[in-house]
Amino acid sequence: MRRARPLPAALAATKRARPRWCAALSATCIALALAVSCGGGSAGVASRPGERRAGGAPAAFSGAPPAASARAEPEVELPDPIDRDPPEPPEAPGAKVEPSPAALGLAQQRFAYAFHRELGGKPSDSTVFSPLSLHLALTMLYGAAAGETAAELRRALGLPDDPMEPHGWYRSYLAWSRQDRTGGEKGLRLGNRLWTSGVAPEYRDLLAGDYGAGFSPLSGGDPKARIDRWIAWVTRGRIKRLPFALTPGTGTVLVNALLLDLAWASPFSEKRTKPGPFRVDFAREEPRELMHGGMAGRYASEGGVEYASLPYKAVGRASWRLLVAVPEGPGQLGEAERRAIGETSATLAALRPAKLRLVMPKFRIDFASRVRWVLYRQGIEQAMDPQRARLPGISGEMYVEDVVHGASIEVKESGTIAAAATVITVGGISDDGVPTVELVVDRPFFYALVDEATGVVVVAGRYAG
C-alpha cells in the first residue's frame, strides 16, 4: 500500500506570488558551467568500485534545427519529432530583463568546489565538468522533493530556505540570457527536457514556467536513443551516448544540455602554435602544442599562484572570461583550486588590468561518467534511497536511480567551445599605465569559464597535460 505524501515545499508554495604567464602551467582549473574529468589525457575518470566508467542552449533555443556552422563539426542527427520544439525559455515582462542574482553564481561556485573535491583523482589528471548543468538539473529535481529529501538537496546546492527562490533565480537567468542572444552561432545554447510517464501537474507547470522545459513521453521507440539524439542535437555533437541506462522501473528522465561557443577578444595566430615543453607534475617535461599571443586582460600573483582573466568577444551583455590559476608548484594546488573553482567571482574581482603576453596549451578534455556517488558524498543521500526518497512532484513511489554527467572543453586559437549534459533517471518504489606581464602556462593549471556579470560558471576543471 502506497503511503500518502505531501506536496514538495516548492509546489506547495506555487499559490504564493513568484515574482612569467610564459611560465609553465602547473595546475589549472576551469569553471564554466561544466566539469569533466579525464586522467592522463584520456576521456573518463577513475571509477569507484562498483561504478561504471565511460569514455568516451542560454538563450534556450527554439525547436528549429541549428543553422549550419562554418566549422567542421560532427554530423548530428535530428531528434525524433516528439522530442523537438521545447517551449521558449521563460521571459520576464517588459523590455529589460535584469541579470540573475549574484546568489546564483555564488551557490554554483560553492557546489562546484565541493563536487570537484569529491570527484578526486590525481593531481596529474585533467578534469572538466559543468557547474551550471549539474546545479540546474539538481535544482529542477529539488522542485519535486519534500521533507528531508528536499533539505539535503537544498544544503548540497547552497539554496535559500524559501523553496521558490532558487527557481526564480534560474527563471531570471534564462530570461536574461535569452534577451542577450544576438543571433548567429556564438553564445550559450541551453535546453531542459523531461521524458516521463507522468509528473504532478504543479511540477510540470514549475519546470515549464521557470526553466522553459519541454516534455516527451517516455514510451515509444527506443527512449535511450531518443534522449542521446536530443543531447547530441543541443550540443552539436559534442556530447553523445552518455552511459546511463533505463530500467523497467524508470518513470522519468530529467535532462539538461548546453553548448557554449566563444571567440577570443584577441585570437591566437595558428601560425605561432608550435610544440613546446609542458611541466607535467611540475617537474617532468613533455611536448605539447603551445599557443602564443597577447591580449588585454587582468592579472594578479599571490601566494605562489598566478591568476589571469582572458576575455572573449562580447555576446549580448554577457561578459565571458576564462579564469586560469597557475600554481608555482604542488604545494599551491589546493589554493589554486579553491580560488579558481570555489571563489571564482571574488578571484576575478581581485585581478587588475594587464597586457598579457601568453603562452598556453591548445587542448581538449572530454568526460562522461556516473556521478551518483560524488553527489552522495556531498550529502544527497535520501533522494537515492528507494525507501526514504520523497519526490511527490514525480508521480508514484520514485527515487533517483542514477545521475550521469558529460562535459567537454576545447581551447584553441580562435576561441573556446564547451558543452555539457546531465541526465537524472528517476525510478519507482563558460602606454597607458597598464603593466605588461608575461605568463607562460607550461605546467598544470586550473581553469573556470565564467560570465563575470552574474558569476555563473559554465565549465571548470584542471589541465594536467
Greater confidence (82 vs 30) lies with: 82
Q: pLDDT tens digits, residue range 289-315?
A: 999 999 999 999 999 999 999 999 988
CB 403 within 8 A of CB 375: yes
Structure confidence at residue 434 as a pLDDT band (50, 70, 90): low
- pLDDT band for position 435 (50/70/90)? low
State the DSSP H helix or E strand holding residue 137, giving kind and residue range, or none if neither: helix 131-142
Mark out the alpha helices in 294-427 (DSSP H runs): 333-337, 344-350, 372-377
The pLDDT of residue 239 is 95
Over range 417-440, report the average pLDDT. 79
More confident residue, 73 or 423: 423
In this prediction the pTM is: 0.80
Return the DSSP state at 342: I
Alpha-carbon distance of 419 to 85, in angstroms, equals: 20
pLDDT at residue 431 in the model = 52
Give the whole-angstrom CA distance, residue 427 versus residue 423.
Answer: 13
The pLDDT score that the predictor gives to residue 184 is: 61
Q: What are phi and psi of 232, to 5 degrees?
A: -65, -35
Q: What are 325-361's pLDDT values in tens digits?
A: 999 999 999 999 999 999 999 999 999 999 999 999 9
Please state whether beta strands 214-217 and 187-196 pair in parallel, antiparallel, or not at all (unpaired): parallel
- Checking if the pLDDT of 254 tops 80, the result is yes
Q: Quick one: average pLDDT of 114-127?
A: 86
Better-predicted residue by pLDDT, 430 or 287: 287
Q: Which residues are CB-neighbours of 50 under 8 A, at least 6 positions away? A: none
State the sign of the Cα–Cα–Cα–Cα dihedral 146, 148, 151, 157: negative
Which amino acid, one-letter code, is at 151? A
Determine the straight-line distance between the first and last CA of the chain, rounded to whole angstroms: 56
The residue behind cell 571574488 is: 346
How far, in Å, CA of 254 to CA of 90, rounded?
18
Name residues whose C-beta falls within 8 Å of residue 175's C-beta, 6 or more positions apart in sequence.
89, 90, 91, 92, 97
Beta bridge partners of residue 424, listed in sequence order:
254, 403
Q: Name, in order, each residue with C-beta under 8 angstroms of 236's C-beta and a sequence gap of 6 or more.
A: 66, 69, 73, 74, 76, 259, 419
Q: Other CB atoms closer than 10 Å to residue 184's CB: what's the count?
A: 10
Distance in angstroms (rounded) separating the CA atoms of residues 129 and 444: 17
Q: Tell me the three cell numbers of residue 251.
A: 518513470
**Pairing verdict, β 274-280 and 284-302:** antiparallel
Mean pLDDT over 49-66 rounds to 31
Residue 35 has pLDDT above 60, yes or no: no
List, in order, residues 6 or more apart from 20 with CB less than 8 Å away.
306, 438, 439, 440
- What pLDDT band is residue 62 in, cutting at 50, 70 and 90? very low
State the Cα–Cα distance between residues 435 and 443, nearest whole angstrom. 24
- Phi, psi values for residue 388, rounded to 5°: -115, -15
Please tell me the predicted confidence (pLDDT) of residue 370.
Answer: 94
Helices (H), 158-286: 165-180, 201-211, 223-234
Q: Give me 80's grid cell.
A: 525524433
- Per-residue CA distances from 441 to 96, 299, 317 (Å): 40, 13, 29
pLDDT-based confidence at 91, cuts 50/70/90? low
What pLDDT is stored for residue 409 in this prediction?
97
Q: Which amino acid is present at 343?
A: E
Q: How far is it, in rounded angstroms, from Cα 319 to Cα 97?
A: 16
Domains and CATH numbers, the chain: 24-65+88-463 (3.30.497.10)
Q: Is the pLDDT at 411 greater than 80, yes or no?
A: yes
pLDDT of residue 6: 46
* 265 vs 434 pLDDT, higher one: 265
* Phi, then psi, of 240 in degrees rounded to 5: -155, 155
